[in-house]
Structure 1
Amino acid sequence: MTETKNPLLDLSDLIDYASVKPEHVAPAVDFWSAKLEAALAAATAPETPATWEAVVEPLENAVLDFSRAWGVVGHLQSVVDTPALRDAYNAALPKVTELFIRLSQDEALFAKYRAIEASPEFAALSAVRQRIVKREIRDFVLSGAALPAEKRERVMAIGQALSQTSQKFSENLLDATNAFELVIDDKAKLAGIPEETLALYEASAKAAGKSGWRITLQFPSYLPAMKYCEDRSIRETLYRAFSTRAAEFDGARFDNTPLMTEILKLRGEEASLLGFKNYAALSLETKMAESPEAVLTFLRDLARRAKPKAQADVEEVNEFARRELNLETVEPWDRPYASEKLRESRYSYSDAEVKRYFTEPTVFAGLFKLVETLFGIEINEAKASVWHPDVKYFEVKRNGEKIAAFYADLYAREGKRSGAWMDGERTRTIRAGRLVTPVAYLVCNFAAPVAGKPATLTHDEVTTLFHEFGHTLHHLLTAQTEAGVSGINGVEWDAVETPSQFLENFAWDREVVKSITSHVETGEPLPDALFEKMLAAKNFLAGAACVRQVEFALFDMLLHTSFSPDRDDIRALLADVRREVAVVFPPEYDRFPQSFAHIFAGGYAAGYYSYKWSEVLSCDCFEAFEETGIRNPETGRRFLTEILERGSSRDAMENFVAFRGRKPELGALLRLTGIVETTAAK
């Protein structure tokens, strides 16, 4: 009798995702841990020379293998979460966390890196390898490797606690989101909701073994109800459920409140041990921004510029709601509905009408055509083992040669984390003289196809897809072969959104829109007249959207600078931030922080401002395409060679200046988002 093969032990090529089971996790972690421990012991042995070939390369390969196998487990836990997989993941998490923290603090390894830097041979290393060694030494210091033993051990304990607490935050949010459903048995109560969405609700009810129409807090289910449902009480019920997720309500089954306090305390203590004034200062050590004060100045300046338009946006909605919808007071559950009605009234179209043109197969075909033109690549669907029947696999080629691949998991489902993201599955590097091509995950949460028709996307969802595909290209089109700087590895967090936000702009180009639209019934592309209406409405309520993002970013930065979890109240801080920059205020029961996974369970702690700063960079980059021709292949190749291919082999600012010929300016952002009508003076 032969044992079942463990697919997490075979990293020779693509992972056999369909065969991965929860019981494979522990043996794989043990196997790759042993490999990594052996590589660490060899690298740090006294007799091992302090050279790139003897220390960095073999250890890096062991880390890549371990990280890839564990990354597969983490990915599956995000997209096909089951109780058994969650248990297996959480059982292994402490061991994995302890190993990586210990690796980042290892005194002997730290000494080897410093010896490499101090050696006469260091000058002979390539500039990229010198950069990697210097950055590793910096990261050793930031991990506590230079601290006395007692403090170093405490930093390790904090890292383990943060890993587990953040994971629990994410699980609570997922469980709270999945726990709610609103089943409607009278279709008349759903008046105003498009037929495609009603079909989704009906299919959801059937899948849950119920009759009628089932609405959940998954975004493709929740948002259409908020925008189109004429029944105000249904909107209010949904809004309350959504805005109180993972809080003390509902018996506190999934309450993230104590976890937030614990996370902030741990981060503050870690920063103090490492000699930083606060966690934000620690976080910014590896980012473009010079200081927390510089970030706060940037955010407040942006809020000052955007707030007048934001206030005008809100008052327009309020006045329209009073005049046309008989809503004397626009409550938070009314705002999406009233805003959509105002858009329909002013621009004579609805998102639901537009959505019928953006059929998923056509959107993908047009998106691929665009990037093929700009970057000289070819993308084709291929066969591979996948973790869910809806997942597709694509290969990227240049001149007929495969250079990369990615998986696309596009539809919302229970057991899948909400939101949209890209993650690297495999890094471009050279192993044993052979080029290893990169692989990525592209994940969204669109509504799945129903009634035998292709899935349709709102234009907002199209821009989300373009955004995540920009991240995907950043990882896949790298020209680097040193893992530490390849793809998105090591890219400053406040610059990593640049390619993604850059690509969003193309979803507003007329020729691109023609190529990505095909009416779900007739196959016709989006009519020019409808596109002109969309273009006129492009920056509809853009001021309000901008200050909303600034609100999140300012809250995040203050939370990690001047806030004391022992003394201060998180809700009070958020209320102060809203009084300073917001134009819309939620009800008292709102518990937004409890679902702010970006900063409590993601990588954006003291870094949420990155979205707005990267938008400055991305809009400025796109302006170069406007100046030379939107789909100009020559400009596309420059963007490819100076930004996408570079990874983190240079500082992000150097990449930007190499492409743009100067440092970034705010004008393009203000113009493209409608904050001002003309570009700022150059």
Structure 2
Amino acid sequence: MTIQPHPLTLPAADSRDSRDSRDSGDSGDSGADWLDWVGRRGDDELARCQSLVEELKASPPTEALDALHLWNDAQVALSNAAAVGSLFAEIHPDKAVRDRAEAVAQGVQKVDTDLGLDQQLYGVLAGLDPAGLDADALRLLERTLRDFRRSGVDRDDETRARLRELSEKGLLLSQEFSKNIRENVRSVRLRPEQLDGLPQDWVDAHPVDDEGLVTVTTDYPDVVPFRTFAKDADARRALVKEFLTIGWPANDAVLQDILAVRRETAALLGYESWADYDAEVKMIGTGKAIADFIDRITELAADSAARDKAVLLERMRQDRPGATDIDGADHAYYAELVRKEQLAVDAQRVRTYFPFEAVRQGLLDVTGRLFGLEWRPAEDPATWHPEVATYDVAFHGRRIGRIHLDLHPRDGKYKHAAQFDLVRGVRGVQLAEGVLVCNFNRGLMEHDEVVTLFHEFGHLVHHVVAGDQEWVRFSGVATEWDFVEAPSQMLEEWAWDADVLATFARNAEGETIPADLVAAMRRADDFGKGYDARTQMFYAALSYDLHVNETADLTGRLKELMAAYSVFPYIEGTHMHCHFGHLDGYSSAYYTYMWSLVIAKDMFSAFDRHDLFDPEVAGAYRDKVLAPGGRRDAADLVADFLGRPYTFDAYAAWLAE
């Protein structure tokens, strides 16, 4: 019997004001519904997974394909439970629901770990005869057996027991690390005159309190505009220092424990370091290759970084004649001045063309046209918060998935920008559903925010377009982890094209953003790309080094690596690693962003810059790179699209421009 997939049925959001804090634990009726739903969804799917696995072990099918389908059904259930736990622990307005989701995630981790160490289950799957399996099924079997070996299934009882303990401990530490970032919103209180330079709509949104002061927080809609536009250097520095100290001191100890768990895990599995263990299943292959890549990009960016930093410092000396260096409290502000005064781009003028609602609709229109998709407002948009926008996704008139856009900040919510799975698409079983979680202003957007929105939406497109899979293992963004950013980085290019922006970027008077302004924006964006690359390599080096070289002083090591890779000096008294969330999610692999950018630049070279909507090229990209999901290695997907292996050439040319 063919199962007709349909969107997941969710409880309704609380109807109270969307900006109310609900961390008191008083969930209200809808909160109680959500608490029940999250628990039931997680528990039921975990129970289904375990039941299917027991069936597979007790009565293994004689045919390999039948056994793989039973294993796939179990993995679908585990994936569904995992999505509930990871998503709602980060974004639900009610703390009780977030806590319940964390408990679901802990249950998922325990089941997943137990499965990976189950020697009987491994024996069943390892004993399957692969003869007659098609390429996808054979790939699934090979990847599954590799996962078992990487879990330690072939180790002795004592080692497997310790690996189980480490896995469960690691998840608890990761949840604590994330919670300390999410719940440690900091702020500074300033005199009204210290807001000089900020856009008027931003100032209007920050009223003076009864004590005559204004509160500015470390949430992105506050800190990004403030460090870019605020003229008061002391106020900028005060806020940036608070931002760079989120999670301190608690996360210093938590991170040390996370690193210790990973070191011991890698050692028990026979790897020299966690970086080697983690890189084994990525495009890059080895830990040493990560270090080599970081050094290569650092060298490529050196001249550009030095040149543009010198421009910043020269401009800063007009205000501070004795200045000898410039750091993270000042460089965004002076970069904006250079772009405005020397490159004729005023970011405050630019933002007038990007009201949030118009940008969101423009994004849907652009991606719909590019990929041949329809984004239809859902008729039953029950969600976890009134500000979440829900759309059904159709391709050639057939519904293929659903997306939820949760794009504004609130208390207790994930502080960065990311795409989360809600459901991974499986052909004939369930439609793909994804959630975009960001923290944008509700009014005018910076163009950098527009670029970020395009980037993150790229993950959502990938998740849905690649959701028509027989095997859940290959559904959605299921390529090697150091490729997953490339499609999103490439989609950023459409946020820089004058013709594309002209379709939705209009100011309050209805005037379309001028093409010459967009051209100037592109030139201005090139300014600083060298020192931005060096900053990214500092982050990548920090991510890699902390997983390879044990240190008792994380802040001290951060300072050393910053001096070696970044062109900007350390700000005394800060502890950026304590809120560097990617140390948890990406672990030793933050290099991924730049690795993916190299590939993204190469893939974009296949498009005609004068016709970014060419249906033949866009369709080939959709079908050859996005739609296969994880069914092929990323290098093969790119080679199929480009007609050749990817190279560094396009990236190097862009960096040298």
| Shorter-chain TM-score above 0.5 | yes
Please state how far the C-alpha of 1:133 moved relative to its aligned partner. Answer: 0.6
SS for the counterpart of 2:328 is: coil
The residue number in structure 2 matching 1:104 is 116
Partners of 2:78 and 2:108 within 8 A in 1: no
The residue number in structure 1 matching 2:456 is 468
Q: Which residue identity is paired with 1:163?
A: L
- Cα 1:524/1:676, change in 2 over 3 Å: same
Structure 1 CA distance for aligned equivalents of residues 346 and 64 of structure 2 = 59
Q: Return the match for 1:299 from 283, 294, 307.
A: 294
Q: Return the match for 1:144 from 149, 152, 167.
A: 152
SS for the counterpart of 1:182 is: strand
Q: Which residue identity is paired with 2:304?
A: K
Structure 2 CA distance for aligned equivalents of residues 416 and 276 of structure 1 = 36
Q: Which residue identity is paired with 2:75?
A: V
Partners of 2:90 and 2:98 within 8 A in 1: no
Is the counterpart of residue 182 in structure 1 residue 162 in structure 2? no
Q: Return the match for 1:323 from 318, 324, 329.
A: 318
Structure 2 CA distance for aligned equivalents of residues 414 and 348 of structure 1 = 38
The residue number in structure 2 matching 1:345 is 341
Is the counterpart of residue 334 in structure 1 residue 330 in structure 2? yes
Partners of 2:7 and 2:431 within 8 A in 1: no
The residue number in structure 1 matching 2:101 is 89
Unaligned regions of 5+ residues in structure 1, if any? 1-10, 249-254, 449-454, 678-682
Partners of 2:497 and 2:518 within 8 A in 1: no
CA offsets per residue over residues 316-358 of structure 1, 9 Å max, x none?
A: 1111111256573545322222221121111223212111101
Partners of 2:38 and 2:84 within 8 A in 1: no
- Equivalent residues in 2 for 1:62-141, closer than 5 Å: 62-116=74-128, 119=129, 122-141=130-149
SS for the counterpart of 2:309 is: helix
Partners of 2:42 and 2:84 within 8 A in 1: no
Is the counterpart of residue 429 in structure 1 residue 411 in structure 2? no
Decide which moves more: 264-273 or 82-91.
82-91
- Cα 1:484/1:308, change in 2 over 3 Å: same
Structure 2 CA distance for aligned equivalents of residues 25 and 369 of structure 1 = 33
Please state how far the C-alpha of 1:573 moved relative to its aligned partner. Answer: 2.8
Q: Return the match for 1:667 from 643, 649, 655.
A: 649
Structure 2 CA distance for aligned equivalents of residues 435 and 43 of structure 1 = 20
Q: What TM-score, normalized to structure 1? A: 0.88
Q: Return the match for 1:413 from 406, 410, 420.
A: 410
CA offsets per residue over residues 344-382 of structure 1, 9 Å max, x none?
A: 111223212111101223223332333233322222222
Aligned length: 631
Structure 1 CA distance for aligned equivalents of residues 42 and 623 of structure 2 = 37
Q: Which residue identity is paired with 1:38?
A: S
Q: Which residue identity is paired with 1:271?
A: A
Structure 2 CA distance for aligned equivalents of residues 480 and 35 of structure 1 = 21
CA offsets per residue over residues 263-285 of structure 1, 9 Å max, x none?
A: 11110110011111110111012
- Cα 1:33/1:375, change in 2 over 3 Å: closer
Structure 2 CA distance for aligned equivalents of residues 582 and 44 of structure 1 = 53
- Equivalent residues in 2 for 1:362-401, closer than 5 Å: 362-383=358-379, 384-401=381-398
SS for the counterpart of 1:394 is: strand
- Cα 1:327/1:342, change in 2 over 3 Å: farther
- Cα 1:33/1:405, change in 2 over 3 Å: closer
- Cα 1:397/1:34, change in 2 over 3 Å: closer
The residue number in structure 2 matching 1:198 is 203
Structure 1 CA distance for aligned equivalents of residues 260 and 290 of structure 2 = 22
Query: Superposition RMSD on alpha carbons, in Å?
Result: 2.1
Structure 2 CA distance for aligned equivalents of residues 589 and 304 of structure 1 = 29
Partners of 2:81 and 2:108 within 8 A in 1: no
Unaligned regions of 5+ residues in structure 2, if any? 13-29
Please state how far the C-alpha of 1:108 moved relative to its aligned partner. Answer: 1.3
Q: Which residue identity is paired with 2:385?
A: H
- Cα 1:30/1:407, change in 2 over 3 Å: closer
Partners of 2:6 and 2:431 within 8 A in 1: no
Please state how far the C-alpha of 1:394 moved relative to its aligned partner. Answer: 1.0
SS for the counterpart of 2:598 is: helix
Structure 2 CA distance for aligned equivalents of residues 31 and 476 of structure 1 = 24
- Cα 1:293/1:551, change in 2 over 3 Å: same
Partners of 1:50 and 1:113 within 8 A in 2: no
- Equivalent residues in 2 for 1:132-281, closer than 5 Å: 132-177=140-185, 180-184=186-190, 186-202=191-207, 213-248=214-249, 255-281=250-276
Partners of 2:343 and 2:520 within 8 A in 1: yes
Please state how far the C-alpha of 1:407 moved relative to its aligned partner. Answer: 0.4
Q: Which residue identity is paired with 2:649?
A: G
The residue number in structure 1 matching 2:26 is none
SS for the counterpart of 1:515 is: coil
- Equivalent residues in 2 for 1:586-625, closer than 5 Å: 586-600=570-584, 602=585, 604-625=586-607
- Equivalent residues in 2 for 1:474-493, closer than 5 Å: 474-478=462-466, 479-489=468-478, 491-493=479-481
- Cα 1:397/1:96, change in 2 over 3 Å: closer
SS for the counterpart of 2:202 is: helix
Structure 2 CA distance for aligned equivalents of residues 88 and 469 of structure 1 = 28
The residue number in structure 1 matching 2:553 is 569
CA offsets per residue over residues 3-38 of structure 1, 9 Å max, x none?
A: xxxxxxxx9642314244335544544433322221
Is the counterpart of residue 31 in structure 1 residue 44 in structure 2? yes
Structure 2 CA distance for aligned equivalents of residues 90 and 632 of structure 1 = 45
CA offsets per residue over residues 188-215 of structure 1, 9 Å max, x none?
A: 221111111112223xx78xx9975321
Structure 1 CA distance for aligned equivalents of residues 124 and 112 of structure 2 = 17
